Amino acid sequence: MGYHPLKLTRLMLSGQRAPLTSSPAAVGLEYEDVAFKAADGVGLKGWFIPREAEGPGPVVLFVHGWLWNRAGNVAGHVPFKDIDVDFLPAAKALHDAGISVLLFDLRWHGESDDGKGPMTYGPSEASDLVAAVDYLRTRPAVDGERIGVIGTSMGGNISLYGAPACQPIKAILAIQPTRLPVFNANFARTELGRFGPLIIKPIDLLYAAKRAPRPSKHDPGIPARKLDNTLVKYVQGTGDQWGTMEVVEEFARGTPRVAGPVIRFPSVERYTGYLYISECVDDVVGFFSENL
């Protein structure tokens, strides 16, 4: 399945909004609709699920992927093959383990505002993560030194880019983060044909014209080297046709504190790799329960 290069360019620059079709109530959780702003004034919206125990305690915030929203991915709203990815079962399991949860929409996604510039898949959106962490530190239910992050795909990139600016972050679960030049080339090849990487090459010039970080310079492995006090667990699907195991393993080698080798989650393409979040809920909860 392919699509026109102009549509691909638009999706890369500003995405499209997936509808919110569920809420924490679907898994029996009480929650609050919340709103806060990034440093550049972009308004962000989300759900806060407080833990039931009294007093401040640990919290995990979810950072979603490209073209998703705070609840995960809703299949069938993009012009390529995808599947549903549901964050809510993991959110409930974390809550039941005594951990508060924040799920929020990144800029250009869900119910949050448009960004001030194009999507950069990490460098600019890092301010959204920082804003979410700053917001959490205003909540009485949250111990501001016991914060964990789950980032999927672009959200994994954002977690690595943003965490150095809002320490302490105790733990990050980064599911299929990627280096954008590698991802874009593979994505363009599958969606536009063998000349796809050449077709999208001028996108770098568009970013330069908008004075935004260029995709060709994108590398979450660089900020990951600064995470001396954050434990990072990396997960990569074995059948990912757009990202690569080699890139994620390189990120892990450069990260000061890693929770063992990269988890090689069995998958047949990229989207089934994200199912780690719902099929390995016990591992997700165990990682944060032990490290927050």
Q: Reply yes or no on whether the pLDDT at 1 is more than 50.
A: no
- Residue at 211 is within a domain: yes
CA distance 228 to 104: 26
- Residue at 24 is within a domain: no
Structure letter (DSSP) for residue 37: E
pLDDT tens per residue, range 96-146: 999 999 999 999 999 999 999 999 999 999 999 999 999 999 999 999 999
Query: What predicted TM-score, i.e. pTM, was given to this entire model?
Result: 0.96
- Residue at 262 is within a domain: yes
Distances (CA, A) of 23 to 73, 104, 204, 223: 13, 12, 37, 33
257 touches 227 (CB < 8 A): yes
In terms of DSSP bridges, do strands 72-73 and 85-86 run parallel, antiparallel, or are they unpaired?
A: antiparallel
- Residue at 22 is within a domain: no
CATH for 101 = 3.40.50.1820
pLDDT for res 7? 76
- Residue at 96 is within a domain: yes
pLDDT tens per residue, range 25-60: 999 999 999 999 999 999 999 999 999 998 999 999
- Residue at 172 is within a domain: yes
In terms of DSSP bridges, do strands 263-265 and 231-237 run parallel, antiparallel, or are they unpaired?
A: parallel
Q: Reply yes or no on whether the pLDDT at 4 is more than 70.
A: no
Domain that holds residue 225: 5-17+33-291
CA distance 111 to 151: 19
- Residue at 137 is within a domain: yes
Closest to 23 measured CA to CA, from 3, 5, 4, 48: 48
55 touches 94 (CB < 8 A): no
Q: How many separate domains does the chain show?
A: 1
